[in-house]
Amino acid sequence: MRLAHYITLSSFFFTPLAANAIDPIPKESGFSGYVNLGAGGVSVKSNELASAGFIDLSEKSINSYGSAKSESSAMMIAAGEISYTFAESGTQIFIGNRLEDYIRFDLSTFAGVRQNLGKAGVMGASVLYTAAETEVWSDPFKTGGAREETGRTANGYRLIWDKIYGTGLELRYSYREIEIDNEQNGQSLNLSDAERTALNRNGDNHKVEARYQFSSEDRRHIVTPEVSYTKHDTQGKAMAWEGYSVGANYIYTKDDWRFVTNVYASKQKADEANPVFGEKADSKLHGVSVNALYSKPFGLKNWTANAGVAWFEDNNDISFYDSQVLMVNAGMLYRFW
C-alpha cells in the first residue's frame, strides 16, 4: 500500500465515540475526556508497511513483485483524550490520540484548542505529532534477502470548523509532512539516478474535507455524508498522486445501543509512471466498517462496551501496490467530566 493512503481515510475505520465530529464543549470549567482500551485481530496485505508497534504487517523477504501475502496478528488497542475547559470563554485545550488513527496504523498524538464561536460554530486547531513511528521497508523492492525496516513519521496540523452557523456542516483541512528515515526505495534495482529519485516517498500531504450531518428529530438516526480531496506531493513524482473520495457515516441509536456503519470509496491518480513497472500506480479504494456500542454494561456508569469489524481494500493498476486490511476489535470506553 502507498503509505499515505492510511492518512486519507478520514475517520473511516472507527467513529463511534460521538455523533458529532467535535464533542460539545462543556458548560462548566474543568477536566473531561475518555479512554478506550481493548484488543483485536488484524490481517494485512501490504508490500510497504513493515510493522506498527509490536505488530508485524508483512514479510521480511520477497521473491517477486506481485501482490503481497496476508499477515495476521493480534493487537492491543489504546486511545484517549484529556481536555480542560474554560467555560467563561468557551475555550477547551486538549491532548490525546484517536482510535480511527490508531487502527489505520497512524500512531499520531494531537494537541490543540477548540473555541466556541456562538452562532458561528466551533473552531478547532491541533498539531499532529508521530509519537510512535510506523515502520516501513527502506527498500520494498529488495529481493534475495531480508528487507530493512525504517521509521516513517507524518507530523503536521489540522484545522476544523464545525456546526457552521448552526448547520450540520463541518470543514476540515489537514497538512502532514511525510518523512522516511532511511529512504532507499528502488536502490536495489538497476535504475538510473533519475528513476531512483522518482521513487522517493518523502513529501507533503494536503487534505480538504467537507461533511454534513442530517438527523431525525429524535436523533435516533444520524447520517453524515462526506467528500474530500487529497494532494500527496512527494519528491519522487512516481509516488505523488491526487485523489477524490466519498463516504458516509450512519448512526442508529436504540435504548442503550448504538450501531455505527461507515462506507468509503476513493479514486487516486498518480502524477507520473512508475519506472519499475512502466505505468502509473492509479488505484481505487473501497471499505466498510460496522461497530456496536452498549452503554453502562453490567451497570457500570460512564462505561461503554464496543466491538466492531472493518474491511478496506486498495485495487491498484500495479499489483505490487495492492493492499488489504481486515480487522476485528472489542474494548471498553470510559468517559469522565
Q: What is the pLDDT of residues 310-330, one digit of tens each?
A: 999 999 999 999 999 999 999
279 near 261, Cβ under 8 Å?
Answer: no
Give the three cell numbers for residue 107.
500512531
Predicted local confidence at residue 99, as pLDDT:
60
Q: What is the 3-state secondary structure (H, E, C) of 39-68?
A: EEEEEEECCCEEEECCEECCCCCCCCCCCC
Predicted local confidence at residue 22, as pLDDT:
58
From the CA atom positions of the chain, what is the Rg in Å?
A: 20
pLDDT over 50 (residue 33)? yes
User: In the chain, what are the domains?
Assistant: 3-336 (2.40.160)
Instruction: Categorize the per-residue pLDDT at 106 as very low, low, confident or very high, splitting at 50, 70 and 90.
Output: low
Q: How far is CA 287 from CA 15, 213, 291, 310, in A?
A: 14, 20, 14, 8
Average pLDDT over the chain, rounded to an integer: 89
Q: How far is CA 26 from CA 29, 81, 225, in A?
A: 7, 15, 26
Give the three cell numbers for residue 291.
461497530
Q: What is the pLDDT of residues 249-296, one digit of tens each?
A: 999 999 999 999 999 999 999 999 999 999 999 999 999 999 999 999
For 135, the enclosing helix (H) or strand (E) is strand 134-137
Give the three cell numbers for residue 32.
473531561
**Mean pLDDT value across residues 136-145:** 95
Q: What percent of the chain has pLDDT over 70?
A: 90
Give the three cell numbers for residue 33.
475526556
pTM of the model: 0.90
**Mean pLDDT value across residues 56-73:** 90
d(CA 15, CA 198): 36
Q: What is the pLDDT of residues 200-253, one digit of tens each?
A: 999 999 999 999 999 999 999 999 999 999 999 999 999 999 999 999 999 999
Predicted local confidence at residue 135, as pLDDT:
92
Predicted local confidence at residue 149, as pLDDT:
96
**Mean pLDDT value across residues 129-144:** 88
Q: What is the pLDDT of residues 143-187, one digit of tens each?
A: 989 999 999 999 999 999 999 999 999 999 999 999 999 999 999
pLDDT over 70 (residue 21)? no
Predicted local confidence at residue 104, as pLDDT:
53
What residues contact 110, with CB distance under 8 A and at least 6 apart? 94, 95, 96, 97, 98, 126, 127, 128, 129, 158
Predicted local confidence at residue 77, as pLDDT:
83
Give the three cell numbers for residue 152.
516513517
d(CA 318, CA 334): 44
Predicted local confidence at residue 130, as pLDDT:
82
Of 92-101, 231-240, 328-337, the poorest mean pLDDT is in 92-101
